[in-house]
């Protein structure tokens, strides 16, 4: 009997089940597809919501686990910004959680402080603060689920945070349209004299629909380059990036890949812009990411 085909962004992959903790089994076009796996088991997944304390705030997180067996392999998925939220741009991480779960791989996604369903003010956002959030989630998942292997996926500024808080214990890394040289593209305009002056006067400046605090603008000028963890890195790293990205130049991924000494691959998507939101572009993201993590994690 042939598997039922999914309508998720036109990918045509087999369906798999998604069940949210406390809810009946459900299907949706955005979350129930899985890559074909010849003569291999396709897992159902369960998604469980958690509130994780960090400082005086709480992070909203979702852990997706295969319903069969223990979540030995776990993927940390970090959303981008400014703003952003745990499901990623146009449900990127919802879809990836389903694809990974179908391959027997668990995942966790969460809202950084000041984003989505987490508490806190985004005005207080800095790279260092988001690294604290990342580590709080990692500690919680280690204690609750006890995975034996971790991988990292970061998209855009989520890749920035993932590299800033990089753990050499990651067995595999996937960087999606990563912002690595921060003043080359997306954040260059943030540190204009006008913005810096306004932020120092008011404590923040409105940019891209968010209140960006002066601490982050100062941090951008101090950090600028987040590539250090990639230099000589032996961990396998996959880069996926639109070749027509208007926010973070595609050349950043090419340049970053040259720093990695271990297995690495750059997937350039012709005419693809930031976040690769077209259905055929997302199909490339899924088809590259899942096999990479299945092989190395």
31, 101 in Cβ contact below 8 A? no
Q: What percent of the chain has pLDDT over 70?
A: 86
**What is the DSSP pairing of strand 237-242 with strand 172-176?**
parallel
Question: What's the chain's Rg over C-alpha atoms?
Answer: 19
9 backbone dihedrals φ, ψ, rounded to 5°: 50, 30
- For residue 179 the two structure tokens come to 């912002």
On the question of pLDDT at 54 being above 80, the answer is yes
pLDDT at position 8 is 42
pLDDT at position 68 is 77
On the question of pLDDT at 35 being above 50, the answer is no
Confidence of residue 32 (pLDDT cuts 50, 70, 90): very low
pLDDT at position 40 is 54
Rounded distance between C-alpha atoms, residue 292 and residue 279, angstroms: 20
Burial of 181 from C-beta contacts in 10 A (0-12 / 13-18 / 19+): buried
Instruction: Tell me the sheet residues that pair with 18.
Output: 26, 45
Helix 214-223 and helix 193-202, axial crossing angle in degrees, nearest 10: 140
Confidence of residue 138 (pLDDT cuts 50, 70, 90): very high
On the question of pLDDT at 87 being above 60, the answer is yes
Q: What is the pLDDT of residues 197-253, one digit of tens each?
A: 999 999 999 998 899 999 999 999 999 999 999 999 999 999 999 999 999 999 999
Question: Which is more confidently placed, 274 or 22?
Answer: 274
pLDDT at position 43 is 75
On the question of pLDDT at 29 being above 70, the answer is no
User: Within 10 A of 176 (CB to CB), how many other CB atoms are there?
Assistant: 30
Q: What percent of the chain has pLDDT over 90?
A: 81
pLDDT at position 25 is 30
Nearest to 285 by CA among 60, 13, 26, 1: 13
Mean pLDDT of 88-109: 97
pLDDT at position 33 is 42
Confidence of residue 14 (pLDDT cuts 50, 70, 90): very low
Instruction: Tell me the sheet residues that pair with 266.
Output: 239
Q: What is the pLDDT of residues 102-126, one digit of tens each?
A: 999 999 999 999 999 999 999 999 9
Q: What is the pLDDT of residues 188-207, one digit of tens each?
A: 999 999 999 999 999 999 99
On the question of pLDDT at 22 being above 90, the answer is no
On the question of pLDDT at 6 being above 70, the answer is no
234, 259 in Cβ contact below 8 A? no
50-59+67-92+112-181+225-296: CATH topology is Rossmann fold (3.40.50)
Find out whether the peptide bond into 146 is cis, omega within 30 degrees of 0.
no
pTM for the model stands at 0.86
pLDDT at position 199 is 96
Domain boundaries in the chain? 50-59+67-92+112-181+225-296
Rounded distance between C-alpha atoms, residue 85 and residue 88, angstroms: 6
Mean pLDDT of 125-149: 98
Mean pLDDT of 91-98: 97
Confidence of residue 67 (pLDDT cuts 50, 70, 90): confident
pLDDT at position 41 is 62
């Amino acid at each position: 009997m042939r598997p039922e085909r999914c309508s998720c962004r036109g990918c045509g992959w087999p369906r798999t089940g998604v069940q949210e903790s406390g809810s009946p089994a459900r299907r949706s076009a955005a979350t129930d597809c899985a890559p074909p796996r010849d003569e291999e088991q396709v897992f159902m997944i369960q998604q469980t919501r958690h509130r994780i304390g960090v400082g005086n705030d709480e992070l909203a997180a979702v852990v997706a686990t295969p319903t069969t067996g223990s979540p030995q392999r776990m993927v940390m998925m970090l959303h981008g910004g400014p703003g952003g939220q745990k499901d990623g741009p146009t449900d990127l991480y919802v879809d990836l959680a389903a694809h990974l779960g179908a391959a027997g791989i668990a995942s966790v996604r969460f809202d950084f402080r000041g984003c989505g369903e987490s508490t806190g003010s985004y005005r207080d956002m800095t790279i260092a603060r988001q690294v604290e959030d990342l580590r709080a989630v990692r500690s919680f998942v280690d204690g609750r689920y006890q995975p034996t292997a971790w991988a990292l996926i970061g998209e855009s500024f989520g890749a920035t945070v993932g590299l800033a808080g990089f753990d050499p214990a990651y067995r595999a890394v996937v960087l999606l349209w990563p912002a690595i040289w921060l003043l080359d593209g997306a954040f260059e305009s943030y540190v204009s004299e006008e913005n810096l002056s306004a932020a120092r006067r008011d404590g923040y400046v409105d940019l891209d629909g968010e209140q960006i605090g002066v601490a982050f603008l100062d941090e951008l000028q101090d950090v600028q380059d987040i590539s250090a963890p990639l230099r000589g890195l032996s961990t396998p790293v996959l880069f996926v990036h639109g070749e027509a990205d208007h926010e973070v130049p595609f050349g950043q991924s090419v340049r970053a890949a040259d720093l990695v000494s271990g297995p690495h691959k750059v997937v350039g998507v012709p005419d693809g812009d930031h976040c690769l939101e077209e259905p055929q572009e997302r199909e490339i993201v899924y088809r590259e990411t899942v096999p990479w993590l299945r092989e190395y994690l």
